[in-house]
Amino acid sequence: MADGRELLYFDDTEPWLSGERPRDAVDHRPLPHADDVVRGGSQLRFDPLTGDWIAMASHRNDRTLMPPPDEDPLAPTRPGKFPTEIPDDSYDVVVFENRFPSFSPRVGGEHSLVDGEELFPVRPATGRCEVICFSSEPSGSFGGLDPRRARTVVEAWVDRTRELLALDGVEQVFCFENRGTEIGVTLPHPHGQIYAYPYVTPKSAQMLRRAVEHREATGRNLFRDVVAAERRAGTRVVTTSEHWVAYVPAAARWPVELHLAPLRDDVRDLTGLSEVEKADLVPMYLDLLGRLDRYYPDPHPLPYISGWHQAPAGTAGEEFRLHLQLFSVLRGPGKLKYLAGSESGMAAWINDTTPERVAERLREVAP
């Protein structure tokens, strides 16, 4: 790209798939170099009360917010039109470094202390943040893709997980999609994001602690036992395929929540999926996204966050198992689940429904 960021094409149509037409478009935008934009812009500060690392990324406050349709930064760049992040005039799926990253190998800086206090360590917010465009269409989401394109996105997730986990300092990779202004989406273009964290995230660290405790107490893997228990009960299972099971967790905290897990119990991350498992994932996932849009009586696009929980790098993630968490903040038509005092202040969750009711409704709205 014009500012030195990397852009990758994942093609599934001609003339690009065969290489008949090379990807040779040039980004001519007069952008400042990414090193200059990001350097010094992100740092991690340690919270001694929780043990969490908090990213400070002040440069993100200027990122693009709901531009007019003719200034969509994720659209293809066409002659005489607004120059975008993708210099070619058409594309299938693309991945590129985020222009406003929370984590970047370009940040620079040294380990230090806030105000010289030993309690408050500071480190560079290294890692990487990528944007993945599912389609060149101006609006939509993953659920609107045809199976061929959805499989291409899955392959892109796998590729980026593999490549990012190989980078120095990267501890965990998270592929996710936000949909809906209620979630905070700033661009209507169908896209997701991929974060490569320089630490194990708090949620994953907590799950790993529980998994280690479960192993010590029972000799078994916690994630395997949870899936087995949900399948035995059956009351919260939404649907099962040859290689995957979708269920509402017994202690779901969101008004609408789903977990999707491979039936093979040794898959740590997306790179561990077989070809048949990836092929089986596509119709399963598209089916679930369609059910979400029919969940409430007046069908409409349901706002959601959907993310792949993957094992941290190396031996730290031995007890972790791959699963997708998909949830919505909508507790009823036009009613948002606000994270008010108890949830935001104390992380003490209160659900406004029961997992069994959610699972029953998701079974009712099967195609």
Instruction: Locate 237 and state its tokens.
Output: 């299972």
Rg from Cα positions in the chain: 21
What angle, rounded to 10 degrees, do the helices at 275-293 and 147-165 form? 120
Sheet holding 244-247, edge to edge: 7-10, 93-97, 128-133, 191-197, 172-179, 304-309, 323-328, 256-262, 244-247, 237-240
Q: Cα torsion for 56, 39, 127, 212, to the nearest 10°?
A: -40
- The answer to whether residues 98 and 160 touch, using CB atoms and an 8 Å cutoff, is no
DSSP class per residue in 223-292: HHHHHHHHHHH-TTEEEE-SSEEEE--TT--SSEEEEEEESSTT--SGGG--HHHHHHHHHHHHHHHHHH
Spatial CA neighbour of 235 closest among 366, 323, 358 = 358
Spatial CA neighbour of 54 closest among 175, 201, 183, 172 = 201
In the chain, DSSP finds a helix count (H) and a strand count (E) of 7, 16
- The answer to whether residues 288 and 239 touch, using CB atoms and an 8 Å cutoff, is yes
C-alpha 238/C-alpha 364 separation (Å) is 9
C-alpha 149/C-alpha 330 separation (Å) is 28
Residues assigned a catalytic role: 191
